[in-house]
Amino acid sequence: MKKPSAVYVYCVARCPRAPALERAPRGLPGTGPARIVEVGRSLWLVVADAPLALYGQESIERGLRDLDWVGKCAAGHERVVEHVALGCTAVPMKLFTLFGGDERAVAHVRKIRARIDRIADRIEGCLEWGVRVTVDERRARQIARQRTAPKRSRSGAGTSFLLSRKAEHDGVGEALRLARRDVGRAFSDLADRARASVQRPPVSREVAARVLLDAVFLVPTRTARDFEAAVTRATASLSKSGCAVTLTGPWPPYHFVDLRGRRAAS
């Protein structure tokens, strides 16, 4: 007897022919191999059969408490979307987008076809890059000491120490102010080289104190090298202020897609 299952949707692909999945990587744990469902007019769904024992609503709600399991699912989802994106425009669906069958998945996509086409037009030929700028407080203090080293004074040792500490404190504050200014300029420069950009807000005040920028950029593949070169220049410039720059990607353009899927089968 066949076990009950749902249809897991990885992405919507827009291309003249069905995406090739012969060498598609493994997707979510416990799901079947990726397969194609035709929507019509050069639109295709990339899906897999997902057993409800693992991917029913209650199972997913329990699984969300297990970060290791969620991470494995996210990695599998991303692998399949990345593979599809190599040959066509892939509009990623959100993690854990499931439907009760192929027909319901197709009906949902046809209902939002106009929105999918707008998104596909925007992301076509592009991938997502992430840029994160953090401040190294030890490095910033070191730079501040070098810039604000007090001149020799006739004051006593205690007074000289206090003056030195005040100069260092003021220097760190000024260094951070200049760093934030330079980060703003770097973001504007990178955004000008991208089709779209999003700045992600810090998750807490503690993070905001050391993360000066957490942004993603929608970059055309034909200008990716130019974008990477701009990040390299920003890295060299910002290092003078005690900042470190991390570049990640390229990824499927998850942050530039807004499709509301369903979490559980229906």
Q: How far is CA 229 from CA 68, 164, 222, 247, 253, in A?
A: 35, 39, 13, 11, 20
Quick one: pLDDT at residue 198?
Answer: 93
Total residues found in the chain within this entry: 266
Q: How far is CA 188 from CA 43, 57, 92, 142, in A?
A: 35, 42, 27, 28
> Across residues 166-192, what is the average pLDDT?
76
Quick one: pLDDT at residue 263?
Answer: 37
pLDDT range class, residue 262, cuts 50, 70, 90: very low
Quick one: pLDDT at residue 136?
Answer: 73
Q: For 181, list phi and psi in degrees, rounded to 5.
A: -65, -45
The answer to whether residues 161 and 122 touch, using CB atoms and an 8 Å cutoff, is no
Quick one: pLDDT at residue 181?
Answer: 87
The answer to whether residues 179 and 187 touch, using CB atoms and an 8 Å cutoff, is no
Structure letter (DSSP) for residue 137: H
pLDDT digits (tens, 9 = 90+) for 200-244: 887 777 766 688 999 999 999 999 999 999 999 999 989 887 889
pLDDT digits (tens, 9 = 90+) for 125-175: 999 999 999 987 666 566 555 555 555 555 555 555 454 555 445 555 666
d(CA 123, CA 179): 32
Quick one: pLDDT at residue 265?
Answer: 39
Quick one: pLDDT at residue 199?
Answer: 93
- pTM for the structure as a whole: 0.76
pLDDT digits (tens, 9 = 90+) for 34-91: 999 999 989 999 999 999 999 999 999 999 999 999 999 999 999 999 999 988 999 9
Quick one: pLDDT at residue 242?
Answer: 80
d(CA 182, CA 161): 31
Quick one: pLDDT at residue 208?
Answer: 67
Give the long-range contacts of residues 205-210, CB within 8 A, separation 24 or more: 210/134, 210/135, 210/137
d(CA 33, CA 149): 64
Distance from CA of residue 66 to its chain's centroid?
A: 21
Q: Which domains does the chain have, with CATH numbers?
A: 5-124 (no CATH), 127-251 (3.30.70)
